[in-house]
């Protein structure tokens, strides 16, 4: 760990198979040029959608296919930049691809306003005359719901063209964080341990508290050096979304976010958000008890660096060493209750098709994600650390990727995506199912405690950090909507206050560095994304329990949920699997699972 290798020094098996997207940059540039020409293919249908069923079908198909081609170009560039954030060529490629996507979106901005101008009777007649239009029925109905917030073709064209500059705040924050930020190395036993986005996770679970403390402080200080820059980028991002919500006539930003801006919308009622925050605050005593037990187990003291908000709490026992390939086999065994229909393509992705980029290298950005499009692999980005936490991350991202795999295999382009609201269900479901197997197979109290540590890491992020960030984020939007402004001192102080409430006085706080934690979450540039992690883990654990207790019928329901994509609204997709998220009951069940694990923790550590 003394020196991270360059990207070119990694073994091929540690990197993803981007050659399957484009064999070379030259091939990518040809695709970029072709995507740019798609603008002229889309424009001629403006004002003609009502001419005939055939014209309408052709317009929809050409727009979707051209946009898919452009998004593949952007995906390739973005994936390259994720692994080498300091490479100016990849930065340039991302900028070029984003510009083409924005231009194409602007060229097709007439589609939805013009569709809404067509009488419902005309659309029904078109569907009857051209059966291939029938797949668009849900899309047409979703448009009707969104109608009050869709503007004229001219305004929609402006909003689409502005998407690139309006989204520049996130790109600026990404460049500052992943390319320009520097961190002090940690000195330990004669070694200089580099602190970076790809190594911080491993350092924060290091057996030495001195290493953990030094790494946490170095990482926080690196972010604090950019606190004013990142305050302005976050404020700019929020103002951009507030502007869009007002332009579209929503009551506030949260209403627009819950409605969903995707092709078919989300239609999440406000009560889902409110239920989550209320249930979370009601169950804070469970978290206070958790921190109290950990403090006792660690000798009576628990510090901010023992409970980093962007990573796992300091371990009570060391993680067993697990290689990437061992973890891949464990996950395949853990997901066996879903049958070969699920496990076989996942195994191919892991062992043959190289879906996963897991090596550590200089310039690789932080975090983990799954990314793909219809017709591509569901790629996974992460940095491997040979421990149970990396296994958990891999299981999580495979949940996303398998969700994408089944949706794209089953649905046409128009429905080949799914809402962020249900995305975190599939990822947490994998973790829950694999974890259940590991707990059953644990041979010693130490091994069981190590598995529980992974579970607490997961629940800490999803049912502690993310609901806290959801409270924080809502306050920021409300502050901007009332004409206020954000400052670095305010953001730092307010976030520290919210987490202090969650710690219940059991953690000794370094408030400045703790409060700087908002800079660790690029999620805040996706408005009102973070609350969906909490609803996701609640639904996932309930579904995993159903599969383990009911077997094949529950497994089939779950696979049908994965295949639904955007063909139904997200709450309806969850009902297919057997979950009603309009009630607080699933979140209550999530906290019941947490409480039972806290009971087990107390039994194991005494």
Residue 397 designated active-site: yes
Burial of residue 212 (CB within 10 Å: 0-12, 13-18, 19+) is buried
DSSP 204-258: HT-S-HHHHHHHHHHHHHHHHTTHHHHHHHHHHHHHHHHHHHHHTT-SSHHHHHH
Burial of residue 258 (CB within 10 Å: 0-12, 13-18, 19+) is buried
CA distances from 303 to 462, 502, 515 (A): 21, 14, 14
The Cβ-side half-sphere exposure at 164, using a 13 Å CA radius, reads 16
Other C-beta atoms lying within 10 Å of the C-beta of residue 528: 22
DSSP 52-64: -HHHHHHHHHHHH
- What is the spatial distance between Cα 529 and Cα 473, in angstroms, rounded to a whole number? 10
DSSP letter assigned to residue 520: G
Burial of residue 454 (CB within 10 Å: 0-12, 13-18, 19+) is buried
- Give the containing element (helix H, strand E) for 186: strand 186-188
Residue 516 neighbours by CB under 8 Å, 6+ apart: 220, 223, 224, 227, 492
- What is the spatial distance between Cα 327 and Cα 346, in angstroms, rounded to a whole number? 13
Joined together, the tokens standing for residue 141 give: 């109905």
Phi, psi of 303 (to 5 degrees): -110, 170
- What is the spatial distance between Cα 201 and Cα 386, in angstroms, rounded to a whole number? 11
Residue 603 neighbours by CB under 8 Å, 6+ apart: none
Token look-up 């996701």 returns: 536
**414, 388 contact by CB (below 8 A):** no
Joined together, the tokens standing for residue 34 give: 């072709």
**231, 342 contact by CB (below 8 A):** no
**259, 570 contact by CB (below 8 A):** no
The Cβ-side half-sphere exposure at 103, using a 13 Å CA radius, reads 17
CA distances from 237 to 96, 230, 241, 526 (A): 21, 10, 7, 9
| SS3 assignment, position 373 | coil
Selecting among 202, 217, 397, 424, the annotated active-site residue is: 397
- What is the spatial distance between Cα 120 and Cα 57, in angstroms, rounded to a whole number? 16
Catalytic residues: 397
């Amino acid at each position: 760990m003394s020196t991270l290798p360059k990207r070119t020094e990694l073994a091929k098996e540690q990197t993803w198979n981007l050659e399957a997207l484009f064999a070379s940059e030259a091939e990518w540039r040809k695709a970029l040029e072709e995507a740019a020409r798609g603008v002229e293919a889309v424009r001629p249908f403006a004002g003609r959608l009502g001419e005939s069923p055939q014209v309408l079908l052709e317009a929809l198909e050409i727009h979707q296919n051209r946009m898919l081609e452009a998004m593949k170009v952007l995906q390739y560039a973005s994936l390259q930049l994720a692994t080498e954030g300091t490479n100016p060529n990849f930065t340039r490629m991302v900028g070029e691809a984003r510009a083409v996507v924005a231009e194409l979106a602007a060229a097709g901005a007439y589609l939805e306003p013009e569709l809404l101008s067509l009488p419902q009777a005309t659309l029904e007649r078109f569907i009857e005359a051209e059966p291939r239009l029938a797949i668009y029925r849900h899309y047409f109905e979703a448009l009707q719901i969104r109608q009050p917030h869709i503007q004229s073709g001219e305004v929609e064209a402006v909003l689409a063209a502005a998407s690139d500059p309006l989204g520049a705040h996130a790109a600026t924050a990404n460049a500052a964080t992943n390319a320009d930020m520097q961190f002090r190395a940690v000195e330990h036993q004669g070694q200089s341990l580099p602190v970076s986005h790809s190594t911080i996770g491993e350092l924060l679970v290091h057996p030495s508290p001195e290493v953990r403390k030094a790494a946490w402080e170095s990482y926080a200080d690196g972010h604090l050096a950019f606190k004013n820059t990142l305050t302005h980028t976050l404020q700019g991002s929020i103002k951009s979304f507030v502007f869009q919500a007002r332009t579209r006539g929503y009551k506030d930003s949260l209403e627009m976010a819950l409605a969903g801006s995707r092709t078919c919308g989300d239609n999440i009622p406000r009560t889902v958000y409110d239920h989550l925050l209320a249930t979370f605050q009601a169950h804070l005593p469970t978290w206070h008890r958790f921190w109290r037990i950990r403090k006792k187990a660690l000798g009576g003291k628990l510090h901010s660096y023992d409970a980093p908000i962007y990573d796992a709490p300091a371990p009570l026992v060391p993680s067993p060493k697990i290689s990437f390939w061992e973890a891949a086999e464990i996950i395949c065994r853990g997901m066996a209750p879903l049958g070969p229909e699920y496990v076989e393509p996942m195994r191919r992705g892991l062992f043959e098709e190289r879906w996963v980029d897991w090596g550590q290298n200089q310039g690789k950005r932080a975090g983990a994600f799954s990314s793909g499009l219809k017709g591509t692999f569901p790629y996974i980005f992460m940095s491997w650390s040979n421990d149970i936490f990396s296994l958990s991350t891999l299981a999580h991202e495979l949940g996303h990727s398998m969700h994408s795999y089944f949706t794209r295999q089953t649905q046409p382009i128009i429905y080949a995506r799914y809402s962020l609201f249900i995305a975190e269900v599939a990822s947490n479901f994998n973790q829950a199912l694999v974890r259940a197997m590991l707990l059953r197979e644990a041979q010693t109290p130490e091994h069981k405690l190590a598995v529980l540590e992974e579970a607490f890491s997961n629940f800490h992020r999803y049912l502690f950090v993310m609901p806290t960030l959801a409270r924080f984020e809502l306050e920021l939007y409300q502050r901007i909507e009332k004409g206020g402004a954000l400052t670095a001192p305010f953001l730092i102080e307010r976030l520290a206050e919210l987490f202090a409430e969650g710690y219940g006085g059991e953690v000794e706080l370094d408030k400045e560095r703790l409060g700087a934690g908002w800079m660790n979450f690029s999620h805040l540039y996706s408005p009102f994304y973070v609350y969906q992690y909490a609803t996701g883990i609640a639904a996932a654990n309930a579904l995993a329990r159903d599969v383990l207790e009911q077997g094949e019928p529950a497994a089939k329901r779950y696979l049908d949920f994965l295949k639904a994509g955007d063909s139904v609204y997200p709450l309806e997709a969850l009902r297919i699997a057997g979950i009603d998220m309009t009630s607080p009951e699933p979140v209550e069940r999530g906290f019941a699972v947490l409480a039972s694990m806290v009971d087990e923790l107390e039994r194991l550590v005494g």
